[in-house]
Every structure is written in C-alpha cells, then in structure tokens.
Chains A and B, each alone.
Chain A
Amino acid sequence: MVDSTNQTITQEAPPLDELKSGSPPFTSLVQQLTQVVGQANILYNADELLVYECDGYIVDKSAPDIVIFPTSTEQVSKIVKLCNQFNVPFLARGAGTSLSGGCLPIGGGVMIVLTKMKQILEINLRDRYAIVEPGMVNLHLTNALKGTGYHYAPDPSSQGSCTIGGNIATNSGGPHTLKYGVTTNHVLGLEAVLPDGSIIELGGPTAETPGYDLHGLYVGNEGTFGICTKAIVRITRDPESHRTMLAVFQTIADATRAISAIIAAGIIPSALEMMDHGIIQAVEEAFHFGFPLDAGAVLLIEVDGLEIALDEEVRQILEICESCNVREIQRADTPEERQLIWKSRKQAFGAIGRLSPSYCTQDGVVPRTRLPEILEFIEATSKKYNMRIVNVFHAGDGNVHPILLFDERDQEQIQKVLEASEEILEKCLELGGSVTGEHGIGVEKINFMSRIFNETDLDTMETVRDIFNPRQICSRDKVLPQHQSDEKAGVVQSHPARRAPH
C-alpha cells in the first residue's frame, strides 16, 4: 500500500505492506468504505491522490492511499472503526491550509476529508453560540451571521478557505486575535470521533460544564486526539464602528517602536499588522493598492468598538506614530477603503507567487518588545543564506511570519530553507518566544519540541495524547517526537521527483 522506505519515522507502524494497492485486504477495505460513503465520496486512484500529498507546507510530501469524504458523524465513526479493523492509519483534513504539515499523511493510510460536512446546525443569538460542522469554512459562518449584529471572531488570513474544524485542530489565530483571542477562547464545546471510533461530546453551549475542561484540552491537538465532527462556538458582537489606518514608516525599527508604544499606552487595537518592504512590493505588484514602494514598513492598525470611543483612540495612536517618525498615515474613511486595506493584508500570501516559485512561511513568536531583534536577525539570515525573506505578520502579538522564498526544484535551496528556518526559530526561543504562534507543530517543527520542553513535559503530553489515541493510529507522527532523544524526527520528501510548477 505504501512504500515506507523513504520515511525517516521509525515508530512501529501498522503492517501496511499487507494492504498494498490491489491486494485483497486493500480491495476489501475500499469496498467496505465505499459502502459507508458511496462511490462518489471515495478516491483511491494514484493520480487523484496526488492532490492530497501535502498541505500548505510543501517541503514534505506523502500521498494518502485512500481519500474519503464523509457527510455525517456516523459515517466518520464507521470509517474510523474500519481503519482500526484493518490496522490502517488515518487522519482528518479540512481545506488543507495547514502550514506545518498537519495534514501530511505520513505512511499513507486513509485521509478523511471533512469538507462535505459544512452545515450550520444552529445559530442562537440570545445565548451567543453557533453549532457548525467541522468542514464549515471560517468566513462562511461570519457571512451567515451578517445582519444579526454578531460574527465569529477568529479570522486566520486563510479564513476564506480554512475550515473551523481545522482551526480547532491548530488553535488558529489571525489578525483580530490581538483583541479577541485565538480559537480556544471561542470554542464552548465539541463533538468528536475518538481514534477508536467512539463518539464523544465535550463541553457544551453553556458557559461552563462540570468536570475537567476537556474541550479546552482538545483545541490545538493538531488532529492527534481524534476527529472533530461538530463545534459549538461562541459568537461575538460586531463592533459598532472601526477606524482603519495604514501607517507608513521609513524603517522597520521605527515601526516596531510604534507597535510596542501603542500596546504600552494601554491601547489594544483590534489588529496591528506589519508588512515589510519586500511584501509591500509584492502586494503592490499584484494588486496596485498604491503602497509607497520605498517604505521600510507599513503598519495596518485597526481599532474598533463604540463610535464614541474611537476618535480618542485614533488620536493617541497618531500621536504615538508621530513620535516614532511615521512618514504618512492613510486612513480608510469608507467601508470600501477598509475592505481594500484588509484585502492587501489577507492576500499578501497570494502575491508571493509573483516573487518566487515556492515559499515557506515561518511562524515564530517573540515578546512584543523583542520584535526589532528578531527582525534584524531575519535580515541577517537572509543575507547569510543569500535567500530573499519577506515579512508580513501579526506584530501586536509578536507573531512573526518570515516568508522564505526559494525554488523547490533546487535541492540545495530546500536545504537552505530548512537551515535558515531553523536558525530563525532558534532565535525566537532564545528571545523568550516560541516556534509557533498559530500554525502548529505538525511535522515541520517536531524536532523543536525537545528543545522547548524537557523530557517530563513531553512525557506528560504523551500520556495525555495516549488517553485519546493509545494506538497512535490517528494522525500519527505529529506534534510529539517519537523518541525524545532523537535530534530530528521529521520526514523526508516522499516524492522527491515532484516539483513546483513554474
């Protein structure tokens, strides 16, 4: 079924060889899975599977052997039980927007794609919650709430395509999480199919539920605790009004001083995003927003709340920016102008395609006050490796996203990307931060876990994971290194011949 010779993971795996494509057990599994979901909801031909060989993290690839599209919790449960019966690993996938290889089917197996489970099951304004299926696209929930005075607050940059189930798996953030918090702050409860196929409910629509906060523990498990099949999420009042601004700075140092000063002044903007010189050029080239091409950095600053409060907040922010040598400030005076500014930020990643055939987005975090140091280090790393690195990130949270531009066709460049990324993330740790603020550990950063956490920490996490996933048959080889003494527990490219298109 899977050629496991090109995997570096050495953990005991189910006997996949018995299930090679075309073998009797494989055919039997396909037949039984087809009975569960119907012929139209299952893929197992090699060319169809290639689409699912990686997510947004393209450095590692590994195709699943079967891709299946359930439409109900009961179907998910039956699929998982069959996987157990056939001793085949499985994992869930939403829209595949993970940037750390969270959806990488290491060793193949069954990929359970939840995009057909996308219904809104309930919206309750009085009690401020919504119940949705996991394949619901994040933005679609907010769109469905339009006109009610409420929205769903977590808004990753990929919110137009990422799913709420995926957001729960990774505890996603986004620009507005500076003020409103990340996904875990907005999940009241969930339903999940555990790795043995049983269905469980954790938490609920009320403010609290008795016993341990298992739904809180579940959020951010990166798919290793089972498959979320229903989510009860908090919905948030729309702010009465916004003020959105673009502050243009000559240097990154001035921009980062402004970030720190705004927070220190006791102002919590609803968003505080930075784009550096490189990303400004890419965005301008792609979308022609009118950004000054010679600017060192641009800050997207948004405050929201009651109309009566905003002008004073804006006045304070302008004053702080002035004191930090701001070059100019553009204000969005109409909803259309605001939308345009946000489009520039949210589509920045799309613009990268004009700069390079491939890119790798990192996700380091530093204390807000250490932003100048990490940005200097990123610049130095760019020079050291002779590799272009651009930055667009959630500055208010100290969550940097250096984007390393490279050509996937050149093995040497891939190696440089890995080394440069590693050095940047090491620096984040050295500055008191973390290697991931919102993308997750996945497979990409698994070798960092033993540098962040000691053996006891990892043992405890492993103990907790094993309660949910004792056989590690679900989303295996993610988050926790197999052997804590292993220096590197990643995966090599399963399909080294495949290249990114020009």
Chain B
Amino acid sequence: MSPTHSGSQEEFVPASQTELSRFMTDNTAAAQKQIFPVGGRTSLSVCCPASQSGTLICTSQLNRVIDYPVRDMTITVEAGMRLDQLNEIVSAEGQRLPIDVPQSNRATVGGVIATNTCGPRRFSYGTIRDYVIGISAIDGKGNLFKSGGRVVKNVAGYDLSKMLVGSLGTLAVISQVSLNLRPKPETMSMVWFAFDSFQNADRALEAIVTSGTRPTAVEYCNSKAARQIAAESRSELPSEHQVVCVCFEGPANVVNWQADQIREEWKTFSPLSSQIVGAEKATKLYNAFTEYQTSSDDPVTLKAVLLPSQMMKFVEAASQLNIAVQAHAADGIVFGHLPDSASSLEDVQQILQQLQKAISPQTGHLTIYQCESEWAESLPLFCSAPSGWALMQQLKNALDPDQLLNAQRFSELVEA
C-alpha cells in the first residue's frame, strides 16, 4: 500500500499538549496549513485520504504515563503512547487493555481512538469507546478541551470522547486519555472448525447465540483467507475450506471445559474437522487474525459491517468474486482483500457494485477500508450516506471551521 501523505509535508513533533495547542492556534491565526495528526503511522491509508500538502503532527513525544493508580485499574497516558508500551506497563500488574490492534508495536493510543481500531475480541470486550473514561484534545482552532475524568463512572457533562472515537482526526488532535483496564486472564485457547458449505458455517455461527460457552472471539475466514492466515501464523489451519475459530479466555479449567463443550455442540453442524489449539499456538493464530485487516499488499481492502444474520450472504458473494474474506463473525464485521485480478479502477468499481447487491441499507454498509491513494478520490469511500450526516457536517464546521484537520478524509464522506 503506498503511503497516503505523499504531498509536500513538514513535520511538527510537540513535546507537550500545551505546545501542540499553541501550534494549532498559531496555525489557525496565520498559516492555515492543512494538519494531519499521525501516531504510529499504521493507519494512514485507512479510509483512503487523498494526498495533500500540509503539516504532519507527530505525537511520538507525547508518550508519558500521567497517572497509574494500579488498584483502581485505570491509567492516564499521553496519546502518543504505543499500545505495546501501554500493555507492557499494565501487564506487569496483571492488567490489560483488551483491544486487539494490528501493528501494536507501532500503533498509538490516540491513533487507535481516532480510527476506532479493534479486532476479534470486540465480541466480548467491546471497542476502545468502552474504555475511554476521559479525554483531552485540541480542536482545529487550537482549543485544548477535555471531557470525562479519571474515575470509571462519571456522567458530568457531555461525553465528547464518543465524538472523537472513529473521527479519523478530523475534529481534534487527541492529546491525553484516561482508560479503564481489565484483569489479564490466566490463559486462552482456540478451537477451529472446517466447513465445506456456507450454510453449515452460518448455522454454527447462529448457534453461538445459545451456546453453553461464552467465547471471547469468533472468527471466520474463507479458504483463501485461511491459507494466508495459516501461512502468516505458521499454523495448521485447514486451508482448503472455510474456517470458524472460537476463542476462549479465563482460568485453565474453564477454558478447557468450553473448548470441549463447543466441539460437542457443533457436531450437529457437520464440520469436516475440528481441533483445539493450545495457548501458545492460539496466540500466534489470534495475532494473525488481528493483523489481517491491514496485512495485505492488495490494492483494495473492503470493510463491510453487517448484521451477523446477514453476514454469510455477503461472504458468499465476496468469495464467488475471489475475494479473501476474514470476519469478526459474531459482530458481522468483514474485511475483504480484493484479488490481484482487480487491477484497474473499473474492475474494483464493478466488484463493489456486485457486492453492494448483497447488502441492504437496513442490514449493513460497505466501505473502502484501504486503497491505492491514486484511486481514493474515485472510489465511493462510504457506499451509503451515513444517517445524521447534516449534524456531522455541523460538528466538523464548529470544531474545525477552517477545515484544517484531515479535511479530505471527512469530505470524502460527502461524496457518498
């Protein structure tokens, strides 16, 4: 994937949020340069912003722990802290932030919030929006504002953190965050099942609703994606078939009981084979599932968010178009890497049209998650207009009246 910010760009690396705020204020007053906030630069291609000249604001020096009251299970950090660094600190205390993030050695807390990045574990733990209890950010005018606080329960004032989660740096630059943490589980394991029909895989996924187990993640991949994930993780996935992996976490006896239980329950759906994967190999496989959304060199990655009950219809359509598909299946979130044969813009547009037929506005939506920057302006980034679009525009205009913050990422939405 080619880098996105390829225009003529300078870089500013603030040492504090005050310094950042001052820079933003000055920029609004005078230079009016386009601002591109960047954390670990792992998601610059996400949602396909077009290349543009301006200033990169790099949060790499905003990486300190502000406060970590261990027994309260909360932590306040600067937004440029890397996920691995955060997890290393809290892991020493038997805690964790249960959000799966690709390239977690580079991705930053602020970046994860701005992109609302998540992975397989969202089925049981939710996303970063559920863990942010306080936030500070600097809007397009240079105003440093905060909402929330450092306690796990707090409804004083409006929850502005929700507004910033997933806003792609278009409303403000996130500078500091307070997070709720969870205990680290004792162990994990995974059970994979191979299916030769979409129908059987779907019936098994439906049975999660009433299973006696409580999975932490339920991942699906078609055979093409299974081959790639198996190679990446050096795991023995049945790469000629569709695969559903069910993951469990907790005390060892509880995890083992659930692994046996799900195999027993799913016999009725005629899996071709199944296997329990122990903690060490399961971790590798799990990481491959987490990384898959950004791992491809293919020119276009799609993201579809569907009702789980409607997901398999989309997956079947995508598979017939030779798209490698991975899904956080119990949440209906699908990532698809287009095949090499989709080498022209016209090919991609044709595929999109066909996939769109498998989605109704009531049951889901399709987005271009990543693509070659030269195609970004031509592809329908969001294939259906978001509800509340007028309010979103007003929000953008109020917090960034000069349209300086990642403006093109947001304006791409308008074209929907």
Contacts and interface: CB of A to CB of B under 8 A. Distances in A.
Interface string B371-390: 00000000000101011110
A449 B154 CA distance: 13
B69 A367 contact: yes
B392 A214 contact: yes
Interface string B87-105: 0000000110000000000
A152 to B, nearest CB: 16
A440 B155 contact: yes
A93 to B, nearest CB: 18
Contacts of A126: 206, 209, 307-309
Contacts of A441: 155-157
A220 B308 CA distance: 28
Given A367-B74, A432-B150, A457-B146, A210 B156 contact: no
A125 B307 CA distance: 11
B346 interface: no
A465 B158 CA distance: 9
A213 B216 CA distance: 24
Contacts of A200: 387-388, 391
Interface stretch (A112-120, A201-209, A337-345, A404-412): A201-209
B153 A437 contact: yes
B122 interface: yes
Nearest to B383: A210
Interface stretch (B3-11, B253-261, B280-288): B253-261
A268 B96 CA distance: 13
A219 B309 CA distance: 27
B163 interface: yes
B388 A202 contact: yes
Contact of B157 (A170, A237, A267, A452): A452
A267 B251 CA distance: 12
A453 B146 contact: yes
Contacts of A399: 153
B326 to A, nearest CB: 15
A463 interface: yes
B182 interface: yes
Given A433-B149, A436-B154, A441-B156, A209 B386 contact: yes
A213 B146 contact: no
A212 B388 CA distance: 9
A452 B156 contact: yes
Contact of A201 (B156, B209, B387): B387
A212 B163 contact: yes
A393 B58 CA distance: 43
Contact of A433 (B73, B151, B395): B151
Contacts of A204: 387
A466 B392 CA distance: 13
A81 interface: no
B416 to A, nearest CB: 8
B46 interface: no
A110 interface: no
A149 interface: yes
B158 A221 contact: yes
A465 B157 CA distance: 11
Contact of B72 (A128, A185, A267, A369): A369
B270 to A, nearest CB: 20
Contact of B145 (A128, A177, A220, A456): A456
Interface in B384-408: 384, 386-389, 391-392, 394-395, 398-399
A448 B332 CA distance: 42
Contact of B149 (A205, A306, A434): A434
Interface in B31-69: 69
Contacts of A60: none
Interface string A424-437: 00000000111111
Interface stretch (A45-53, A258-266, A350-358): A258-266
A212 B392 contact: yes
Interface centre among B71, B151, B157, B159 (most CB of A within 10 A): B157
A144 interface: no
Contacts of B331: 207
A294 interface: no
A479 B250 contact: no
Contact of A452 (B149, B158, B257, B394): B149
Nearest to B182: A268
B106 interface: no
B152 interface: yes
Interface residues of B, number: 78
A436 B149 CA distance: 11
Interface in B120-171: 122, 126, 129-130, 139, 143-147, 149-160, 162-163, 165-167, 171
A220 B365 contact: no
Contacts of B387: 200-204, 209
A262 B209 CA distance: 31
**Interface of B: prevailing SS:** mixed
Contact of A309 (B184, B251, B309): B251
Interface string A167-179: 0001101000100
B365 A436 contact: no
A448 B157 CA distance: 10
Nearest to A431: B151
Contact of B388 (A170, A211, A220, A263): A211
B398 A467 contact: yes
A354 B73 CA distance: 38
A436 B209 contact: no
A293 interface: no
Contacts of A221: 158
Contacts of A220: 155, 158-159
Given A212-B167, A212-B395, A456-B144, A267 B183 contact: yes
Contacts of B308: 126-128
Nearest to B148: A434
B119 to A, nearest CB: 13
B212 interface: yes
Contact of A209 (B139, B210, B305): B305
A274 B391 CA distance: 42
Contacts of A398: 72, 151-153
A149 B153 contact: no
Interface in A382-413: 394, 397-399
A240 B212 contact: yes
A171 B162 contact: no
A394 to B, nearest CB: 7
Contacts of B171: 212
A461 B160 contact: yes
Interface in A263-280: 263-264, 266-268
B352 to A, nearest CB: 15
Nearest to B257: A308
A192 to B, nearest CB: 10
Contacts of B130: 181, 185
A459 B160 CA distance: 12
A369 B145 CA distance: 27
Contact of A207 (B122, B144, B395): B122
B97 to A, nearest CB: 15
A151 to B, nearest CB: 14
A77 interface: no
Contacts of B153: 173, 177, 182, 365, 394, 397-399, 434, 437-438
Interface in B235-287: 250-251, 253-254, 257-258
A464 interface: yes
28 contacts: A124-B309, A181-B130, A182-B153, A184-B162, A200-B388, A204-B387, A211-B386, A213-B116, A213-B162, A217-B158, A219-B162, A306-B213, A306-B257, A312-B251, A312-B253, A368-B72, A369-B71, A394-B153, A399-B153, A437-B153, A437-B154, A453-B146, A456-B145, A457-B146, A457-B157, A464-B158, A466-B398, A467-B398
Give 5 nearest A-B pairs by CB, closest first. Answer: A216-B162, A266-B183, A211-B386, A437-B153, A460-B145
Given A436-B154, A461-B147, 9 more contacts: A126-B209, A126-B309, A207-B305, A210-B382, A214-B392, A266-B95, A306-B213, A367-B72, A436-B155
